[in-house]
Amino acid sequence: ELLLAGGAGQRAVGDKFGLSKDSIHRHWHGHVSDERKAALILGPVQVQALAAKIAEESESVIDHHKATRAGLYQLYSTALEAGDKTSGALLAGRLTDVNNSIAKITGEMASSPLVQRNTVNVFMHTREFADFQARLIAVLNRFPDAREAVLAEFDRLEALESAGETRELPALEHDPDGEETA
């Protein structure tokens, strides 16, 4: 009964125990109640857990796929144990389908706008930054005090970097009043 509940074919179970496929079929359909079948398939604790899970409306699609995959792995293992090559091959195909679905869903979630990626670009030693510095200094030639202050700041930043000291930038924190704070 456990092998049948696990998804093994009737012919494979019959061969394993020296019985005909028809005997196995008659026993399963005529003498095993639906409650017994459910208990064999899921186990008594899992039946209650599954009922609780189904009751939760907030259950995500990925969790359902994982539950399906877990069940398929159990059926697949049972089919292999019973030597049921046909069911094993079919279940392997279904497992591949579920795994592909999970991969697709997780890939879509990774590209969701809700997933945030932060990239920090350090550009102090790039040609573009050197060009920016040169243009800024040229513009500031008309304002000698500002030019000197900017040059002093550039020198300070280079000294910090060469000493291995960098300043940790503050993160923006969410303010429930709708304002961002640093």
Structurally, how many domains does the chain consist of? Answer: 2
Per residue in 117-165, pLDDT (tens digit) is 667 777 777 888 888 889 999 999 999 999 999 999 988 888 887 777 6
Q: Are residues 27 and 106 in the same domain?
A: yes
Put residue 100 in one of left, alpha, beta given phi > 0 → left and psi -120 to 50 → alpha: alpha
Q: For position 57, what pLDDT does the model report? A: 41
Q: How many CB atoms lie within 10 A of CB 151?
A: 14
Closest to 2 (Cα-Cα) out of 30, 28, 31: 28
Q: Are residues 55 and 97 in the same domain?
A: yes
Q: Which residues pair with 173 in a beta bridge?
A: 181
Q: For position 21, what pLDDT does the model report? A: 93
Mean pLDDT of the chain: 79
Per residue in 68-85, pLDDT (tens digit) is 888 898 888 888 989 999
Distances from the Cα of 97 to the Cα of 60, 94, 113, angstroms: 18, 5, 26
Last residue of a domain, one of 81, 110, 139: 110
Q: Are residues 97 and 10 in the same domain?
A: yes
Per residue in 162-180, pLDDT (tens digit) is 777 665 656 666 565 655 5
Whether residue 116 is contained in a domain is answered as no
Q: Are residues 97 and 132 in the same domain?
A: no
More confident residue, 49 or 182: 49
pTM over 0.75: no
Per residue in 19-62, pLDDT (tens digit) is 999 999 999 999 998 878 877 777 655 656 665 655 454 357 77
Range of the domain at 137: 122-167
Q: Are residues 84 and 131 in the same domain?
A: no
User: Is the Cβ–Cβ distance between 37 and 5 less than 8 Å?
Assistant: yes
Whether residue 49 is contained in a domain is answered as yes
